[in-house]
Amino acid sequence: MIDTIIHTAVNLLKDVGVVVVVAYLVTRTDAYARVLDRRASFRDRLLLTLIFGLFSIWGTVSGSEMLGATANTRDLGPTMGGLAAGPFVGIGAGLIGAVQRLAMGGVTCVPCSLATFFIGAAAGAVYELNRRRFIGVVGAVVFMALAETFHMGLVFLLVHPFSEALEIVKAVYPPMLLSNCAGVAVFALIFANRERERTTAAAKARIDSEIATARAIQRGLLPRTDDLGLGDAAAAALSVAACLEPARDVGGDLYDLFALDDDRLCLVIGDVAGKGVAAGLFMSAADALVHAASMTGRPVDMILEIVNKELWRRNDTLMFVTLFIGVVRLSTGELQYASAGHCPPLVRRRAGGVAMLPSVRGAVLAVDPGLTFAVGTERLAAGDVLLLYTDGVTEATDAAGELFGDERLERSLADIGEGTPDETIARIMDNIGRFVGEAEQFDDIAMVVFRYEGKAGAGRESRPAPAHEGAPAGVRLPARLEETARLAELVEAFAGREDVGLTVAHDLALAAEEAFTNIVRHSLRHSSEPWVDVYLSRKGDEVRVRLEDAGPAFDPRSAPRADVSAGLDDRVPGGLGVHLMKNVCRRIDYERRDGHNVLTLTVAVAAREGEV
Amino acid sequence: MTFEIEELEGQVAVARVSGRLDTLTAPDFSAQALAAIDAGHTRLVFDLSQVEYVSSAGLKAFLAAAKHADAQGGAVALCALQEPVERVFRVAGFDAFLDLCTSSDEAARQVEPQD
């Protein structure tokens, strides 16, 4: 007897394997997906009814014959159909299983058929009572145990004599209880899994969409480098580019650029400890505070003090920020900056040397409310480039664990030549990319490249800004004849950058040299350290060199004319320079402004050589 | 700026000049040119094919050389000027007393004693 029971149980358990396959397949049907979405059609229900009904029949025919009764898993189909898909499927599958069982006959055919039908209906009712949701693994197993007990109850009730009913129940109840409960447990596990999977996928889709929105907002908060809110004249005094490459979708690095007024541009770069959405949120708060504090007109160290206090007040999650803020006065090139533990920006001088901005005292923000900061001052000359970056740049790591490092960054910056800020960023990113290779980007990367172009040429001249206020921008050369070499270099580089052709380059260099040597001769006697500021600019089809000096008023246009028609005997070496200047320039403008000579030489950029 | 003298047949020498003749280099050029004339090369052709730039300082050096040669009964001529350089000479009216030739042979004929 015991052997038989064990044998039966083993057989039934083997069938559980089939259960797994059926359950898996059912959960992958579109019909079942629509049931979960509560939008199942009649056809969907009919399909599921048939599947569970056939499964019920399979349960019957695969069962083991014992004492004229069959130990079987017929109730499994209607149970799962009802529990997972509602009364329609439960009752339908129960009916199919019951009709088939009835047709088989035997002493238990009536109670067994009725039991299957009722169990299917009851399972459907449980689904309804559970607000049309599957009741879960434990609930399903308990239901199944109760259902099989009810099944046996019906056998007692409807099979006579009682002794025969008792024998049958004693033989089939244990294996049926075991196998059906095991079957329903497997079924329920797979169903519950499927449901969890769907919930997780839905939740993930929601989070993904929120992160995408956050990323879009963060991107949207970045300033547009092509419209900084400056006037035309001030905007012409700089060119700038920036990039932000979060390691994840949302990053803790941020840069910002905004005009404080028509002459001052604020440059900000920062890095929140950590990555991802939390860091991004904190950084947005920090940036908004920097914005607000900057508008008070306070100096950069005070701005950091205010931001630090406010961030500290709101810092429940113990984050911290490193931040660099610089304010450039575009009319003079003067840079004032402060740093809260941020890596010092690099300056590339026009001539090619690269150095870190001298570091200034200041610790990370949001940790200590009483911090104070120091102010650094630097003078940018025309052509100088400022590189602000976050440590994701220098700490970009290759597959071997080596860091990109300060040295590689400095070399990259030194190598940019006359590249625009956009090209500079592209070049540095390219260098980083090639260094890192296949290694995954570990930290956020942000960079701002700012090139000071010098006081804007034409546009600014109408402004009453006195030339001597602060230190002049442009390139200041000592007023000595030796400096004509440097002047020639400046003009040549400028002409090359502007691609104006050899003839124009020659004429511009000639005009510049003649004007410069004139100034040197006139200012030498009057000052111990005379200087000349040189500005080079292009506007449309004209290139200009503007020379400013603080020597005595001297308008070269009024210098004595050279007699260029004189023969060899009558020639005197004088006035030739001005004569050449007048001939190669389209225009020579001179202005005595605030005690300065401002001489602007304009050379026309004609059609390119060879194209005439 | 470099300056090299090459003696041709007859009494003519060619000064091959290269580089820039500007405020900084013109004094050196002028000194070498005058020294060459003093050394007897009073009939001197300046080959300027390698000169890309001449400013007023350079012009003055040529003026001084021309006057110096003239004072010693000689003459100077220029040849193979690059376009911008030639323009500078013409703008300054130096073509009135300096022959701007295309080749050194042509320039040499200009400075040879007239029979």
Is A151 a domain residue? yes
Residues B42/B73, Cβ–Cβ less than 8 Å: yes
Confidence at A254, pLDDT banded by 50, 70, 90: confident
Interface test with A, best of B25, B34, B51, B55 (most A CBs within 10 A): B55
A570 φ, ψ (degrees, to nearest 5)? -95, -5
**What is the interface size between A and B, counted as CB pairs within 8 Å?**
65
Segments making up each domain of chain B, as ranges: 2-111
Between the CA of residue B108 and those of A47, B12, B98, B101, B103, what are the distances in Å? 111, 6, 13, 9, 9
Mean pLDDT of A98-104: 90
A135 and A241 share a domain? no
pLDDT (0 to 100) of residue A66: 59
Is A23 a domain residue? yes
What is the SS3 assignment for A559? coil
In the block, residue with structure tokens 């050899």? A502
CATH code of residue A550: 3.30.565.10
Contacts 24+ apart (CB under 8 A), A395-399: A395/A442, A395/A443, A396/A432, A396/A435, A396/A436, A396/A441, A396/A442, A396/A443, A396/A445, A397/A436, A397/A439, A397/A442, A398/A435, A398/A436, A398/A437, A398/A439, A399/A437, A399/A438, A399/A439
Cβ neighbours of residue A401 closer than 8 Å, sequence gap 6 or more: none
| Residue A140 structure tokens | 């399903």
In the block, residue with structure tokens 């004229």? A68
Residues A533/A457, Cβ–Cβ less than 8 Å: no
Mean pLDDT of B77-95: 92
Q: Which residues of A touch B73 (CB under 8 A)?
A: none
Rounded Cα gap, residues A92 and A56, in angstroms: 11
Please give the torsion angle defined by the CA atoms of residues B88, B92, B95 and B99, in that order, rounded to the nearest 10 degrees: -60
Instruction: Tell me how many degrees the CA angle A277-A282-A284 measures, rounded to the nearest 5.
Output: 95
| Type of residue at B43 | R
A14 φ, ψ (degrees, to nearest 5)? -60, -35
What is the SS3 assignment for A225? coil
Minimal CA separation from B97 to chain A, in Å:
6
Higher pLDDT among residues A345 and A251, named by residue: A345
Q: Judge: B24–A485 Cβ closer than 8 Å, yes or no.
A: yes
The DSSP bridge partners found for residue A365 are A321
Is A466 a domain residue? no
* A interface residues, B as partner, C-beta within 8 Å: 481-482, 484-485, 488, 502-503, 506-507, 509-510, 513-514, 517, 562, 564-568, 571, 573, 576-577, 579-580, 583-584
Rounded Cα gap, residues A53 and A141, in angstroms: 20
Residues A343/A362, Cβ–Cβ less than 8 Å: no
CATH code of residue A373: 3.60.40.10
Q: Judge: A482–B96 Cβ closer than 8 Å, yes or no.
A: no
Is A205 a domain residue? no
Interface test with A, best of B20, B21, B22 (most A CBs within 10 A): B22
Minimal CA separation from A521 to chain B, in Å:
12
pLDDT (0 to 100) of residue A555: 86
Per-residue model confidence as pLDDT tens digits over A394-441: 988 888 888 899 989 998 998 887 788 999 999 999 999 989 888 877
A97 and A173 share a domain? yes
In the block, residue with structure tokens 């394997």? A17
Alpha-carbon radius of gyration of chain B: 12
Per-residue model confidence as pLDDT tens digits over A528-554: 678 888 989 888 888 999 998 888 888
| Residue A1 structure tokens | 């007897």
A166 and A294 share a domain? no
A162 and A270 share a domain? no
A132 and A238 share a domain? no
Residues A545/A601, Cβ–Cβ less than 8 Å: yes
Cβ neighbours of residue A525 closer than 8 Å, sequence gap 6 or more: none
Interface test with B, best of A502, A519, A576 (most B CBs within 10 A): A576
pLDDT (0 to 100) of residue B13: 93
Tell me which residue in A484, A502, A510 faces B24 most closely, judged by beta carbons. A484
Rounded Cα gap, residues A242 and A260, in angstroms: 19
Confidence at A12, pLDDT banded by 50, 70, 90: low
In this model, does residue A173 exceed pLDDT 70? yes
B70 close to A (CB below 8 A):
yes
In this model, does residue A457 exceed pLDDT 50? no
Cβ neighbours of residue A62 closer than 8 Å, sequence gap 6 or more: A15, A18, A72, A73
Tell me which residue in B52, B55, B70 faces A513 most closely, judged by beta carbons. B55
Residue of A nearest to B94 (CA): A564
Mean pLDDT score of chain A: 84
In this model, does residue A473 exceed pLDDT 70? no
Mean pLDDT of A355-376: 89
Minimal CA separation from A401 to chain B, in Å:
51
A337 and A444 share a domain? yes
Q: Judge: B93–A510 Cβ closer than 8 Å, yes or no.
A: no
Minimal CA separation from A473 to chain B, in Å:
25
Minimal CA separation from B91 to chain A, in Å:
7
Residues B11/B112, Cβ–Cβ less than 8 Å: yes
pLDDT (0 to 100) of residue A118: 94
Rounded Cα gap, residues A555 and A575, in angstroms: 13
CA A61 to chain centre: 61
Tell me which residue in B55, B60, B83 faces A510 most closely, judged by beta carbons. B55
Minimal CA separation from B105 to chain A, in Å:
23
Per-residue model confidence as pLDDT tens digits over B20-68: 999 889 999 999 999 999 999 999 999 999 999 999 999 999 999 999 9
Interface test with B, best of A520, A571, A612 (most B CBs within 10 A): A571
B34 close to A (CB below 8 A):
no
Q: Residue A88 gets which letter from DSSP?
A: H
Confidence at A462, pLDDT banded by 50, 70, 90: very low
Confidence at A522, pLDDT banded by 50, 70, 90: confident
What is B2-111's CATH number? 3.30.750.24
Residue of B104, B12, B112, B13 whose CA lies nearest to B50: B104
Tell me which residue in B20, B56, B66 faces A577 most closely, judged by beta carbons. B56
Q: Which residues of B touch A509 (CB under 8 A)?
A: 53
A228 and A117 share a domain? no
pLDDT (0 to 100) of residue A150: 93
Interface test with B, best of A487, A491, A502, A506 (most B CBs within 10 A): A506
A437 and A504 share a domain? no
Rounded to two decimals, what is the model's pTM?
Answer: 0.49
B56 close to A (CB below 8 A):
yes
Minimal CA separation from A568 to chain B, in Å:
6
A314 and A279 share a domain? yes
Q: At what angle do helices A109-129 and A76-85 cross, to 10 degrees?
A: 20
pLDDT (0 to 100) of residue A385: 94
Q: Which residues of A touch B84 (CB under 8 A)?
A: 502-503, 506-507
Cβ neighbours of residue A550 closer than 8 Å, sequence gap 6 or more: A468, A523, A527, A530, A531, A595, A596, A597
Rounded Cα gap, residues A143 and A82, in angstroms: 11
Residue of B nearest to A583 (CA): B91
Please give the torsion angle defined by the CA atoms of residues A510, A514, A519 and A524, in that order, rounded to the nearest 10 degrees: 110
Between the CA of residue A196 and those of A188, A190, A208, A325, what are the distances in Å? 12, 10, 18, 49
Q: Which residues of B touch A510 (CB under 8 A)?
A: 53, 55, 88
Instruction: Tell me how many degrees the CA angle A142-A85-A173 measures, rounded to the nearest 5.
Output: 35
In the block, residue with structure tokens 């409310």? A369
Instruction: Tell me how many degrees the CA angle A252-A253-A254 measures, rounded to the nearest 5.
Output: 120
A241 and A374 share a domain? yes
In this model, does residue A562 exceed pLDDT 80? no
Q: Which residues of A touch B53 (CB under 8 A)?
A: 506, 509-510
CATH code of residue A29: 1.10.1760.20
Is A458 a domain residue? no
Helix (H) or strand (E) holding A325: strand A321-329
pLDDT (0 to 100) of residue A307: 93
From A146, A166, A200, the end of a domain falls on: A200
Kindly list the strands in the beta sheet with A475-478, ordered across the sheet, starting from the edge strand earlier in the chain: A475-478, A531-539, A542-549, A596-604, A587-593
Minimal CA separation from B41 to chain A, in Å:
19
Per-residue model confidence as pLDDT tens digits over A53-76: 999 998 888 876 655 566 788 999
Is A367 a domain residue? yes
What is the SS3 assignment for A491? helix
pLDDT (0 to 100) of residue A418: 77
B83 close to A (CB below 8 A):
yes
Higher pLDDT among residues A462 and A412, named by residue: A412
Tell me which residue in A484, A502, A565 faces B23 most closely, judged by beta carbons. A484
Rounded Cα gap, residues A453 and A457, in angstroms: 10
Number of structural domains in chain A: 3
The DSSP bridge partners found for residue A347 are A355, A386
pLDDT (0 to 100) of residue A526: 61
The DSSP bridge partners found for residue B62 are none
In this model, does residue A214 exceed pLDDT 90? no
Instruction: Tell me how many degrees the CA angle A87-A92-A94 measures, rounded to the nearest 5.
Output: 95
Residue of A350, A360, A349 whose CA lies nearest to A326: A360
A266 and A135 share a domain? no
Is A214 a domain residue? no
Minimal CA separation from A567 to chain B, in Å:
6
Confidence at A557, pLDDT banded by 50, 70, 90: confident
pLDDT (0 to 100) of residue A472: 33
Q: Judge: B22–A484 Cβ closer than 8 Å, yes or no.
A: yes
Per-residue model confidence as pLDDT tens digits over A440-451: 777 888 999 999
Question: Exposure of A564 by Cβ count < 10 A (0-12 exposed, 13-18 middle, 19+ buried)?
Answer: middle
Is A457 a domain residue? no
Range of the domain at A536: 474-604
Which ipTM score applies to this complex?
0.91
B50 close to A (CB below 8 A):
no
Q: Which residues of B touch A568 (CB under 8 A)?
A: 63, 66-67, 70, 97
Q: Which residues of A touch B23 (CB under 8 A)?
A: 481, 484, 513, 517
